[in-house]
Amino acid sequence: MLFLPTFLMGGTLPVLVRGLTRNWVELGQRLARLYWVNTAGACFGTIAAGFFFLPMVGLRRTLEIAVALNLFAGVFALCLSHRKQAFVPALGSESRPERQDSRLRLVCLALVGASAMAYEIGWTRLLATQLGSSTYAFTLMLATFLVGIVLGGVAFDWWTRRHTARRITIALTQTLTALASHAWSSFPECLSCCLQSCVQRTNPFAAC
């Protein structure tokens, strides 16, 4: 039931990157911007669905709203395709990165994705034991997760336009991610108190 929708969602970003990129120089800039814009939309949808649509209109209506948004995005993209002729990007081989270096970075990216999902599952489990498995607790965790990704994407998109990203940059970001995650995981009581306060303040249907 979930495979086909998620399969099609997975094709959205590669198609957009291919359609908006003319050369390898533009690839990094376009991809970075599309990444954080897409994640910002995911963050907005998480907050809207978890804190407003689900408690106000129910599960079925919430899913219908999501379907309507997908249809609107499809119609909007179709209108744009008629206004502007599509082109096939001419990605020249003169500026293409070395194959061996690209493979190593892909392996690194896969490890980053694996660790991110491990963090999300672990933090969800931590919240479930501390706050219960409520919709608001999960929504807050996911929204916080996505907000961090959006802010990091915007910051590094701005930074890479003015500086050259090197291998040491990736090493530093991953090392700091590990240290920060370990620090928060070492103090679950403090994290639980902060999140309980946030849930009580953001839950619009909490008892007064």
Cα 179 to Cα 62, 119, 125, 164: the distances in Å are 38, 13, 20, 24
pLDDT in tens, 59-92: 899 989 999 998 998 888 788 777 655 444 455 5
208, part of any domain? no
Q: Is 206 helix (H, G, I), strand (E, B) or coil?
A: coil
Looking at the 3D structure of the chain, how many domains does it have? 1
Phi and psi dihedrals of 88, rounded to 5?
A: -95, 120
- Measured CA to CA, the distance from residue 82 to residue 18 in angstroms comes to 18
Inform me whether the pLDDT recorded for 204 exceeds 60: no
155, part of any domain? yes
Inform me whether the pLDDT recorded for 4 exceeds 70: yes
174, part of any domain? yes
Q: What is the pLDDT of residue 198?
A: 62
Secondary structure (DSSP) of 22-86: -SHHHHHHHHHHHHHHHHHHHHHHHHHIIIIIHHHHHHHHHHHHHHHHHHHHHHHHHHHHHHS--
Going by C-alpha positions, the residue among 115, 114, 119 that lies closest to residue 142 is 119
Which range marks the domain in which residue 151 is found? 3-202
Six token digits for residue 52: 């407003």
116, part of any domain? yes
61, part of any domain? yes
63, part of any domain? yes
92, part of any domain? yes
Q: How many Cα atoms sit within 13 Å of 66 on the Cβ side? A: 19
- Measured CA to CA, the distance from residue 88 to residue 166 in angstroms comes to 29
Mean pLDDT lowest for which of 3-12, 61-70, 82-91, 166-175?
A: 82-91
27, part of any domain? yes
- Global confidence as pTM: 0.70
- The pLDDT mean for the chain works out to 75
